[in-house]
A and B are shown apart, each in its own frame.
Chain A
């Protein structure tokens, strides 16, 4: 066990020495990976910070069922009862808004009053206003109910007041898929960068590897410093990426703050949760070591 630990300590020191021997190329590799890594960290920050916002805005999506002109009051009441019976578990409130009441509400708004005076009679239809309960996917639920109610006799048109929430959810889904693709790109960049670094180092260190074999080094002994090199590159790149993302938060939050305030929303970006960051860092370190392993096995066969 002690011998095993000594071998690892030796390999770690050799890896550090090799990184120090080529400071500029080591730093360049770390910066390339870090920049690539900072983008998905920021993306994840946007995604995670937006989800509560979408939920908050979608608390009470509203649907308006405009009834066909001339629908008798009895049928209006029957429609109201039907939707309460069939979708009562999804509805928090449903009420009838007669056309005269709607007109009165509209006239109460000075911006509309003058325009409505020009009309000979009330053009508004009777309507049922339905407020849905909160759910995990409010926009989707609202859309499904609207599709059902649209088919009912006496219902002329259904207006989905939370359409924009659906668009926001679609946008977030798009960002989620984009982040997935970006994660794949990060994997490829880490693999390619570390693979190539180790390839160049293995070529430069041919003599050292040959000497180590001459004095009885096993292939594990030869490979181990390269694995540490890949892992250390991954670690340094992860830390630098985190620093870059953290530095980018302040200016982004200032800009977002102005934008969000104009919509009366309180919205700011936060870095992903610490366990998520630790897991991502560990994966990048592992990826660096795997890339190094693939490369060193391939490029030390001499």
Chain B
């Protein structure tokens, strides 16, 4: 469950990126966040992932108010949220396999089990056979898929993706969206920020539209 209550977000004394945002997402929903560039989509997703604090209001994820979590406990919440940011944020000096292994190393998973799950995640995003490649040797789309593999390998309760198909061709985009849908079908709450109206029309159960920090909840209506 994700709940925003009267959330404001601004940087310094600048204008509000988000202004009085209120919504609630139930477990297992598949949601698109739409809106023009600079509308605040990425900021919204970062607040959900606990990467940034809200200026005002409360953000509750999986029953925990993020602003009340200490710096010691916040990482444990992050492990339940798979984040895929616009910039893939990969480790370019490590092989694809080691990139996917990182969240499992953070969790202290047994190595053989971790390796099995990392291979399964790579296979899920169509990167099986590219384990030993460095991210720089992968195309932009493959890098994005690698970031998705890293986000899903920890079996998060929530998947948050910021423009995950922006660098992908149509077939790859469809493949990745199918991956998200598969995860959603086994109960993973999925939020995707996207401009792609065709994808939204095909996959969205509910769309949150954001424009100039203001929110419109278009339940069941693709924007």
Q: Interface residues, chain A, CB within 8 Å of chain B?
A: 2-4, 6-7, 10, 21, 207-208, 210-219, 221
Q: Given known contacts A211-B102, A221-B106, is B78 in contact with A21 (CB within 8 Å)?
A: no
Cβ–Cβ contact A212 & B106, under 8 A: yes
Chain A residues with CB under 8 A of B148 = none
Minimum-distance CB pairs A-B, first 10 = A216-B79, A3-B108, A215-B103, A216-B78, A218-B75, A217-B106, A216-B75, A6-B108, A10-B105, A211-B89
Q: Are B76 and A210 in contact, with the CB atoms below 8 A?
A: no
Q: Are B154 and A216 in contact (CB under 8 A)?
A: yes
Inter-chain CA distance A10–B78, complex, in Å, is 20
* Contact A215 B102, beta carbon cutoff 8 Å: yes
Beyond A215-B79, A216-B76, is A4–B108 a contact (Cβ under 8 Å)? Answer: yes
Q: Is B140 among interface residues, defined by CB-CB distance under 8 A? A: no
Q: Given A7, A21, A215, which contacts B154 in the complex, CB threshold below 8 Å?
A: A215
Interface residues of B (CB under 8 A from A): 49, 51, 71-72, 75-79, 83, 85, 89-91, 93, 102-103, 105-111, 150, 154
What are 25 A-B interface contacts by the 8 Å CB criterion?
Answer: A2-B108, A2-B110, A6-B108, A10-B105, A21-B93, A207-B89, A208-B91, A211-B89, A212-B102, A214-B78, A214-B83, A215-B78, A215-B103, A215-B106, A216-B76, A216-B77, A216-B79, A216-B106, A216-B107, A218-B72, A218-B76, A218-B106, A219-B71, A219-B72, A221-B75
A7 and B76 contact, Cβ closer than 8 Å, known pairs A211-B91, A215-B150, A215-B154: no
Taking a contact as CB atoms under 8 Å apart, the answer to whether A213 and B75 are in contact is yes
Give Cα A172 to B78, complex, Å: 61
| Chain A residues whose CB sits within 8 angstroms of the CB of B76 once the complex forms | 216, 218
A217 close to B75 (CB less than 8 A)? yes
Task: Please indicate the chain B residues that have their CB under 8 angstroms from the CB of A207 in the complex.
Answer: 89, 91
Cβ-closest chain A residue relative to B150: A215
Given known pairs A207-B91, A208-B91, A219-B71, the reply for A214 and B51 (CB within 8 Å) is yes
Residues of A within 8 A of B51 (CB): 214
Interfacial chain B residues near A218, Cβ < 8 Å: 72, 75-76, 106
